[in-house]
Structure 1
Amino acid sequence: MRSLLDPRKKKKKSAGLDVALGLVPHHPRQQQNKEQPRMSSCVSCFWVLLSACLLAVCTFSFLSPSWIVSSGGSGPGGPEPVSFGLLWHCSDSPGHMPSCYTWGGLGRFNDIPSSSWQTSAVLCCGGCALLVMSCFLAIVTLFLPSGLCERRLCTLAGYMQTAAVFMMGSGILVFPFGLNSTTVKKYCENSSIYYAGDCQIGWGFMLAIVGVMLSVFLPFFAKYAPKEHTSPTPIPTIL
């Protein structure tokens, strides 16, 4: 009779019933260990790797002097072969080593031959700067546990990458307007807006277009980069 009326056994039976119904977890310490955040994920690692690669591609293409390439004149007295970029121009005189110079020297931004190229240089350099900062934030998120801080950094980096894509894309669209300048017409006859005349589109310009097109996917991966908690559905057990 005492065993049936013992309140301790009643508490044990009620606790076991709660565990069986799934109202109370059976192993709270084990469940806490399972709910600890993962330190890395495949999406976040791929996002960081893609951000670093596209940063290198875009920076290299925007610093390249081979956006517009001229093969030179047909005769000996014709214009020499040159190539133009946003910040550099190179000349390849016959019998001489190729020489590259910045437009008007360092610190003389106004000497860029076209206002369209000046605008394109500002937009592309600003986009590269945003890619640098977003890549740094992406690397930082790899070492953070999942939580509010990590999600905010991923969101901020995604916004930066979105702005960088718009800025670099606008810079690429504005650049062909400078083909109508006097300096370009000197080497590329009959050139006009969005028409290179006797010149050709160089590999630097094409590489910049490819880099910007691939950068469109960066904000998408930034959305799914935050790590998630591993919180499996508790399975009721009867013990």
Structure 2
Amino acid sequence: MRDYQDKKSNMVTGSLTCSGVIWSLLSFCGMCLACIGFYMPYWIRGQMTFNQQNYTVNFGIFRRCNYPSNGMFIEECGRYLMFSDIPSNSWRVCTITVGVGCGLAMLVSFIGLFACLIKDILSKRIGRFTGLIQFFAALFIATGCGIYPNGWSHRHVKAACGFTSEEYSLGTCSIDWAYYVTMAGCGVTFICSALSYKAGKTKTGHYTTYAL
């Protein structure tokens, strides 16, 4: 009975401090924001004329909405068929860096959620190591977001944003919500990398064994 009660207590308290619980929840929120922004094709919004009709078009990193294809105008969202079809080299680099950053943020987020329930997953040292991973995750995402505007000079973007569109100058287009969501996820992940230093409990130097 005592072994069962101890085990139940450990499952409730987990291996996180109060600050660690906040860190875990924020890590999950930051990961969700970054991943949603990464996947959604609403980074920039513009207008395109096709057969004397105006259409609202959107570009993400590796996805887009409403685009001409084979003499027709496709009114739906979809990804580019191949990695090489992504219009700009800058956007290809952005796809890799933001994708890697989201993957690292997802890994730490799941570790944090498990640490809320199970004892001896997250010590102070491991907590600081996960914070370092989060720092690099946020750095990758921020780098991708910074590189993305370098691709605004591509002819596909110019067709929707006007021929005044150049690197880091969007012409007649506007930045859409998914870009801001990705940046928000990046900011939250940066904050979490600092909170991780107070996330884990100090281990007592031994692990408790439980009778089955």
Q: 1:101 aligns with which of 65, 72, 78?
A: 78
Query: How far, CA to CA, are the matches of 2:114 and 2:44 in structure 1?
Result: 38
SS at match of 2:55: coil
Query: How far, CA to CA, are the matches of 1:159 and 1:42 in structure 2?
Result: 20
SS at match of 1:72: strand
Q: 1:200 aligns with which of 159, 162, 174?
A: 174
Query: How far, CA to CA, are the matches of 1:67 and 1:229 in structure 2?
Result: 44
**1:120 and 2:94 are equivalent in the alignment:** yes
CA displacement at 1:78 relative to structure 2: 5.6
Give the alignment's Cα RMSD to 1 decimal: 2.5
Match of 1:71 in 2: 47
| Structure 1 gap segments, 5+ residues each | 1-36, 231-239
Query: How far, CA to CA, are the matches of 2:124 and 2:142 in structure 1?
Result: 27
Match of 1:177 in 2: 150
CA displacement at 1:97 relative to structure 2: 8.7
CA displacement at 1:156 relative to structure 2: 2.2
Code of the aligned partner of 1:70? G
Query: How far, CA to CA, are the matches of 1:145 and 1:204 in structure 2?
Result: 37
CA displacement at 1:212 relative to structure 2: 1.2
Code of the aligned partner of 2:83? F
CA contact (8 A) 2:105 2:134 kept: yes
Query: How far, CA to CA, are the matches of 1:132 and 1:181 in structure 2?
Result: 32
Match of 1:51 in 2: 27
Q: Deviations over 1:119-140 (max 9, x none)?
A: 0010000000001111122233
Match of 2:134 in 1: 161
Trace 1:1-239 onto structure 2 (pairs within 5 A): 39=14, 40-73=16-49, 77=52, 80-91=55-66, 98-103=75-80, 105=81, 108-142=82-116, 143-145=118-120, 150-189=123-162, 190-228=164-202
SS at match of 2:165: coil
| Structure 2 gap segments, 5+ residues each | 1-9, 205-212
Q: Deviations over 1:33-55 (max 9, x none)?
A: xxxx9744211111111111111
Q: Which has the larger radius of gyration?
A: 1
The TM-score with structure 1 as length reference comes to 0.71
Sequence identity, in percent?
25
Match of 2:7 in 1: none
Q: Deviations over 1:129-176 (max 9, x none)?
A: 001111122233332248xx6233212211110100110000000000
CA displacement at 1:72 relative to structure 2: 3.2
SS at match of 2:22: helix
Match of 2:208 in 1: none
- Aligned in 2, Cα 1:78/1:180: closer, same or farther, shift over 3 Å? farther
The TM-score with structure 2 as length reference comes to 0.79
CA contact (8 A) 2:40 2:63 kept: yes
CA contact (8 A) 2:61 2:95 kept: yes
Query: How far, CA to CA, are the matches of 2:17 and 2:136 in structure 1?
Result: 25
Structure showing the higher strand proportion among its residues? 2
Query: How far, CA to CA, are the matches of 2:172 and 2:33 in structure 1?
Result: 28
SS at match of 1:81: strand
